[in-house]
Amino acid sequence: MRRTPEITLPLRLDRDSPEPLPAQLAAGLRELARNGVLAPGDALPSTRALADHLNVSRGTVVAGYDQLLAEGYLSAAIGRSTVVNPLLRRVHPRRPPAHRPPPTETASRYDLRPGLPWPDEVVGAAWKAAWRQASATPASRPAPVLGLPELRVAWADHLRLMRAVIADPGQIVVTGGGREGLALGLLALAGGRPLRVAVEEPGYPSLRRVPPRFGATLMPLPVDAKGLRVTDLPVGRDAPDVLLVTPSHQYPLGGSLPVDRRQALLDWARANRVVIVEDDYDSELRYTSQPLPALAALDDPEEGNVVLLGTLSKTLTPTLAMGFLVVPGRLVPAFASTRRDLGQPASLVAQHAIAAYLRAGALRAHTQRMRNLYRRRRGLVVAALADLPGATVFPMDGGLHAVVQTDRPEAELVASLAASGVRVSALSDYWSGPTTRRGIVFGFGAVSEPDLAAALDIIAGLLRASPAR
């Protein structure tokens, strides 16, 4: 049985007005077309349906429509619905806004923003199959508080195989990505009090901006070539409540925390009652050796202090906006209570799709392919920037970015690269305060190899040509 579409147009007629009802109707529809509520090609209700909706005679609607047909606002043909004139913008150009929006950021020819993965090989047969399967699941099932059980089981299996982390699915929390996961953790741990959150200096800017949004105080802690300097950690009353750390691949400098430091860090956290948030952002993308076990793998899964934070942003795509937390058993009730209040941000359809993708082993296969691809691109970076005078390329044992420290003027170098079509980040941006370090940080994951080679030629040329200071 054919149903008449519900009429939702915001039209009102004033029967006490001296203006005739057809003129009021025409004026209302005219204004809706002018301000974009009615777009060119939109179908209008039939005259009979609109008359019933407005409680007026059909002749009133016919007269209003005829007026707008004559003015060029509407278009009609025998046997077809009356529509807003598809050529409306030619007949009645829209009025320019009083204040034009600010100009959009000019796109760079070579976008080397750090951390972006290669997107072209995400959508394959396994990806399409997973989403087809997910789209067939019933839409009436509510999203569980901590996430779809099937996804949490699949993620536990993936972590066991890829990161040597033995996780109980009941301790895995599905998140809306890295920042949402960190925000959830801060709220769950705060208990209504302001937190002191220690961060690596330098560190990941987007995550570092999250704690102050929740009233937390940041405590920058120094790093060296091997990662966080655990001998300098504050203790007792000076210790933070939470420590955000990247032990597998310090961001952005690239150090990997040795096992002895990892154990010392766990001992410190236990003695000072500090919760460690381990940002395991790209540990699966390692090129020169096998990654060390995650810090969470060395911790007590029930009474421990490590919350493992993971996403699919580096291995798949940041546009998916999905991740997970692995939480010690003792903290699960607090995280569940907070998630219950905030709601589950990841759609159930997306959770079903990623669960199917993980169960098929597709993420492991995709990660292996991408690791080989990124290894080749890393080789291009190393070859292009080797032996440049006045420049130091930090080791790139893994990840999707490179760090070049230079004695050239940083702002001028970044600006010159931008003028040449290469978009990079300034190394000093990764410190929360003043620093003497200068240089650039750029990614090599999201551009094709020919484009990367061309961009590297520009970078190397400017580094050679730039005067040192």
pLDDT in tens, 299-327: 999 999 999 999 999 999 999 999 999 99
Q: How far apart are CA 133 and CA 148, in angstroms?
A: 15
Range 276-288 average pLDDT: 88
Average pLDDT over residues 120-142: 90
Distance CA 397, CA 287 (A): 6
For tokens 């090989």, the residue is 121
On the question of pLDDT at 467 being above 80, the answer is: no
pTM more than 0.85:
no
pLDDT digits (tens, 9 = 90+) for 30-87: 999 998 899 999 999 999 999 999 999 999 999 999 999 999 999 988 778 899 999 9
pLDDT given for residue 440 in this prediction: 96
Q: What angle do CA 355, 358, 360 make, to 5 degrees?
A: 110
Per-residue confidence at 286, pLDDT binned at 50, 70, 90? confident
What CATH code would you report for 110-117+365-465? 3.90.1150.10
Residues whose CB falls within 8 Å of the CB of residue 65, separated by 6 or more in sequence, listed in order: 44, 47, 74, 76, 82
| Residues ≥6 apart with Cβ < 8 Å to 300 | 328
Q: Give residue 1's pLDDT.
A: 46
Segment 333-353 mean pLDDT: 95
Q: What are phi and psi of 350, to 5 degrees?
A: -65, -40
Percent of the chain with pLDDT strictly greater than 70 = 95
Task: Specify the pLDDT at position 103.
Answer: 56
Q: Quick one: what percent of the chain has pLDDT higher than 90?
A: 77
Which pLDDT band holds residue 143 (cuts at 50, 70, 90)? confident
Asked if pLDDT for residue 101 goes beyond 70, the answer is no
Residue 468 confidence (pLDDT): 57
Q: Is the pLDDT of residue 102 over 70?
A: no
For the record, the structure tokens of 227 come out as 């990662």
Position 469 scores a pLDDT of 57
Please, what is the average pLDDT of the chain?
91
What mean pLDDT is predicted for residues 291-306? 91
Mean pLDDT is lowest, of 99-108, 243-252, 353-362, 406-415, for 99-108
Q: Which fold has domain 21-91?
A: Arc Repressor Mutant, subunit A (1.10.10)
> What is the pLDDT, as a whole number, of residue 100?
60
pLDDT band per the 50, 70, 90 thresholds, residue 388: confident
Rounded average pLDDT over 171-188: 97
Read off the pLDDT of residues 361-373 as tens digits, 9 standing for 90 and up: 999 999 999 999 9
Q: Do domains 21-91 and 125-361 have the same CATH topology?
A: no
Q: In the CATH hierarchy, which fold is given to the domain comprising 125-361?
A: Aspartate Aminotransferase; domain 2 (3.40.640)
The domain limits of the chain are: 21-91, 110-117+365-465, 125-361
